[in-house]
Amino acid sequence: MKIIRFHSLALAGLLFTASCTQQPKKEKFNNDTLVKAEVAQPKTRKLDTVKPVSTKTCSQIAYLILTTSPRYQSLTNGLKERIIKNGGTSFYISYEGSPYSKIDSATNYSETYDYSIHENYPDHAPLIASFTFDPAKKQLFEYNVAQDSLMPAAFDKTLLVDLARACE
């Protein structure tokens, strides 16, 4: 009885192994002839010319408005190298406030998108500049510490179209 079980198991194992390792049938190709196939060009339709909808969120576009602004670029151009020369590691942008603070991980709720730029050193992180983008006024501002006021800053106005789509 034990011998029959052993032989049955061995046979089942061999059949299983053989079925798993079967080689696919090779098709014979005639290497003598070359066939030139023509690919039909797709016809353009109105749907092909429609631009895709942006998948960026309001906060991502507000961030783009900041980082593409001439003022931000002038502040951060070569900044990392200067910080490293002074013993620091880099700089970073702190996301201080947002109308959607729970969704996009801003530190606080604010009716505006608030950012601050800091140098990063082992023992401290001094503030370089603070920016606010006000979606109601559609304007980027830089905070002027000396005058305790917001000063309008230039930015790419074409991003306002993307902002309007994303924040609908």
pLDDT digits (tens, 9 = 90+) for 84-95: 999 999 999 999
**Residue 7 binned pLDDT confidence (cut-offs 50, 70, 90):** low
pLDDT at 101: 83
**Residue 47 binned pLDDT confidence (cut-offs 50, 70, 90):** very low
Helices (H) and strands (E) in the chain, counts: 6, 6
- Type of residue found at 35: V
Element (DSSP H or E) covering residue 4: helix 2-20
pTM exceeding 0.75: no
Q: Taking the chain, what is the end-to-end CA distance rounded to the nearest angstrom?
A: 77
Q: Assign domain 58-166 to a CATH class.
A: alpha beta
Where does the chain show beta strands of DSSP type E? 90-98, 108-109, 113-120, 127-134, 139-144, 149-153
Per-residue pLDDT of 61-110, as tens digits, reads 999 999 999 999 999 999 999 999 999 999 999 999 999 888 888 889 99
